[in-house]
Amino acid sequence: MIGQSMNITIPIHSIKGRGAASQIAHRFELDGRSAFDDGWSTLDETSLNQGVAVATTVRPESAKSAISRNDSPDIHFDYGLNPYRGCEHGCVYCYARPTHSYLNLSPGLDFETKIIAKPNLAEVLAKELSSPTYAVRQIVIGSATDAYQPQERHWQITRSVLELLNQCHHPLAIVTKGSGVERDLDLLAPMAVRKLAAVYVTITTLDSALARKLEPRAAAPHRRLRTIRALTEAGVPVGVSVAPQIPFINDDMEQVLEAASEAGARSAFYTVLRLPWELNPLFQEWLALQYPDRAARVMARIRDMRGGRDYDSNFATRMKGSGVWAELIRQRFHKACDRLGLNTDRVDLDTSLFNSSLITGQSSLF
């Protein structure tokens, strides 16, 4: 059966190509609904196996601001930028899912099927960069939701942002699972020569069957390795993210790091799974559906890394966890990186080239 629901009651086994197993109610909702068997065979095996596909819709929204400032001590960048709210990649573990609650939408299916696009983002960004009080810092594009999700092919908002940053010589880093980043090599490659660009490709696992369950509409693992190779050959510094690590689910971290290194990645980082707000019941619902034989064991290990809780928001431990299991993951990661020569050279982007005067009149172009 489906769990709490806002406005959709598709049996969870029937949702095709999506990460979330239900339209879980968000935390600000006053009423929750659930489907149930009323004795008239409405939820029998036939209905469960029909395979209902849920369409994606995109709504344009005028952005009021472009740069999000970060003051969390465990996040190692100051500025983030996200061209989209929600993400069609549908990663079931995505920590950004609860942000859809602020839109009165479900962090479940809504997050990956009701996307908000910001077509005026480059115009707003131009104004912010032109401000006399602006202090230049590296901007991380895709810090919450992927800037190269499928809708970018149509909207090209990320492209417009890169064109602006390239014009005024502003440093940027991109975190993505999307192979669409290769489209923008004509901008990223010359920026990399000036030490203005770096890309970090997330590869959670090399197991394509598992990837289809974890992140159903992201590029396949082998395709992301091709992206790393293409970026490297174009001279763009590339790192690999092996986040998040989920006990007893994606246990091939060393193999991912080795494959990424062979493709040209020169740095790496990881986090362990974190389950804030609605993501906790949503992930547990997915876990019970996809891996019922090990669901209890997975959650037990997650709690081992969270001081006995499903989630701990402590800045000191929320990214890497604590305890024996967290230490084991840490040791595995660092030993693999040492063996492969990853993280030996730091990529420092150049902030000294930024020239806001080059933005003059830019907003009229958008």
Query: Residues 207-243: pLDDT tens digits?
Result: 999 999 999 999 999 999 999 999 999 999 999 999 9
Nearest CA to 25 out of 46, 7, 1, 47 is that of 7
Whether the pLDDT of residue 164 is over 70: the answer is: yes
Element (DSSP H or E) covering residue 199: strand 197-202
Confidence of residue 120 (pLDDT cuts 50, 70, 90): very high
Q: Which domains does the chain have, with CATH numbers?
A: 12-360 (3.20.20.70)
The predicted pLDDT at position 26 comes to: 66
Residue 49 scores a pLDDT above 50? no
DSSP state string for 4-48: SBSS----GGGEES-S-SS-PPPTT-S--B-----SSSTTSHHHH
Q: Residue 116 pLDDT > 50, yes or no?
A: yes
Structure tokens at 230: 């293409």
Q: Can you read off the two tokens belonging to residue 362?
A: 């830019």
The answer to whether 152 and 158 are in contact (CB under 8 A) is yes
Could you tell me what percent of the chain has a pLDDT over 70?
87
Question: Helix, strand or coil for residue 161?
Answer: helix
Share of the chain above pLDDT 90, in %: 80
> What is the model's pLDDT at position 24?
81
Token reading at 272:
């362990």
